[in-house]
Chain A
Amino acid sequence: GAGVSQSPRYKVAKRGQDVALRCDPISGHVSLFWYQQALGQGPEFLTYFQNEAQLDKSGLPSDRFFAERPEGSVSTLKIQRTQQEDSAVYLCASSNGGSADTQYFGPGTRLTVL
């Protein structure tokens, strides 16, 4: 079936704008994860959901970052009042939560804040 999809693939925002990034997980996957990857760095965990419940948001860097998954499938990561340091690739992953718990990643959204 289809893999994890993310939209938009590229987003350019002016500093101070709000942005919304979308993730469509693999159908039936109950777990959904968001990561932030700055240029030349490894991904950094932001938050994760089990169905619609946000079980861990310890990686969100500030209260400008907000994620939701209201119906337990599609998720949106919202960044308010974007700043230049928010420029990164935002990766979404989903998992069926089995014993192996492999996370399957989408192509990412590259956010550039000018």
Chain B
Amino acid sequence: KQEVTQIPAALSVPEGENLVLNCSFTDSAIYNLQWFRQDPGKGLTSLLLIQSSQREQTSGRLNASLDKSSGRSTLYIAASQPGDSATYLCAVRGGNNRKLIWGLGTSLAVNP
């Protein structure tokens, strides 16, 4: 059974810092991995999707990497801003079904 773990559970940093969020999964037979952002009272926003054949994806200040063999993904946020404050969730889609298996998220606070 696929399990997804995110570390750390919470993170507080001063504005401008570069930071790394970690996601690990137990079954390497994945179809893709997605990073989402969740703001309080709002839905989930997809940030980056990495296919199983890819190593990384970039969007603006965000970079996500995938090491399928070791069951790990990292989300790198460069030059963090207060507007980046949110919960970041990692979700894995298995190879033989469409459902996403989720981590518990990392709650990020970027302080001005």
Which residues of A are at the interface with B, using a C-beta cutoff of 8 A? 4, 31, 33, 35, 40-45, 48, 55-56, 58-59, 91, 93, 95, 99-108
Number of interface residues of B (CB under 8 A): 25
Q: How far is the CB of A75 from chain B (nearest CB, A)?
A: 15
User: Is A45's CB under 8 angstroms from B32's CB?
Assistant: no
The answer to whether B98 and A41 have CB atoms under 8 Å apart is: no
Whether A59 contacts B46 by the Cβ 8 Å rule is: no
Say what secondary structure dominates the interface of chain B: strand
A106-B102 contact, Cβ under 8 Å, with A42-B89, A101-B32: no
Give chain A residues whose Cβ lies under 8 Å from the Cβ of B102: 42-44
A104 to B46, CA, bound (A): 7
Q: Give residues in B with beta carbon < 8 Å to A.
A: 4, 31-32, 34, 36, 41-46, 49, 51, 89, 91, 93, 97-105
Of all chain A residues, the one with the shortest Cβ separation from B4 is A42
Tell me which of A31, A44, A104, A105 contacts B98 (CB under 8 A): A31
